[in-house]
Amino acid sequence: MSDNLSQLRQPAGSAGLADLTRELAGLIVEALNLEVAPADIGPDQPLYGEGLGLDSIDILEIALVVSKQYGVQLRADSEDNQRIFASLRQLAEYVNAHRTK
């Protein structure tokens, strides 16, 4: 049992990011009433268009969740907004770098 756990253990940073990625997936599914299970959203699957099929109304909803949960205010002109929403992983990395709570 403990052997299994130690095999699964990862460096603290990436483990934290993996947790955050899963947490974000759950928050997105809940906020948008999506039909998918959070675990089924691939970390590199596009959120927009052909991937998860989100549109700008959804993105605004996710921005609200992210600001409430992590204190991150998204800006269309800051960084590369397209990149932030390219995938769950990118969003998690951005939130991780800018979170205030």
Partner 1 sequence: MLAYRAGEPVLVGQFLSDVARLGAALPAAGHVLNVCADRYRFTVGFAAALVRGLVTLLPPTRTPAVIAQLKAFAPDAVCLTDEAACDIALPRVSYPEAASSGAPQPSAVPLIDAGRRAAWVFTSGSTGAPVPHEKTFGRMIACMRVEAARLELGTDRSWALVATVPPQHMYGLEASVLLPLASGHALGAGHPFYPADICAALAAVPRPRALISTPIHLRALIASGLELPAIDLVVSATAPLATELAAEVEQRCGARLLEIYGSTETGSIAVRRPTVTAEWWLWPGVTLESRGEETFASGGHIDRPTRLYDLIEPTGPDRFLLHGRVAELVNIAGKRSSLGYLNHQLNSIPGVLDGAFFHGPAGEAGEVARLGACVVAPGLDAAAIAAELRRRIDPVFLPRPLLLVASLPRTSTGKLPQEALRALAARS
Least distance CB 94 / partner 1 (angstroms): 13
Nearer to partner 1, 3 or 77 (CB): 77
Distance between CA atoms of residues 51 and 43, nearest Å = 11
- Asked if 82 is part of the footprint of partner 1 (rule: CB under 8 A), the reply reads no
> Within 35-54, which residues bind partner 1 (CB under 8 A)?
35, 49-50, 53
Distance between CA atoms of residues 40 and 24, nearest Å = 13
Least distance CB 12 / partner 1 (angstroms): 30
- Asked if 100 is part of the footprint of partner 1 (rule: CB under 8 A), the reply reads no
- 86 phi, psi to nearest 5 deg: -65, -35
Distance between CA atoms of residues 80 and 54, nearest Å = 18
Nearer to partner 1, 20 or 54 (CB): 54
Kindly tell me which residue out of 33, 97, 100, 101 binds partner 1, with binding defined by CB under 8 A.
Answer: 33
Sign of CA dihedral 84, 90, 96, 97: negative
3-state SS assignment for residue 62:
helix
Contacts with partner 1, residue ranges (CB under 8 A): 33-35, 49-50, 53, 55-57, 60-61, 63-64, 67-68, 73-77
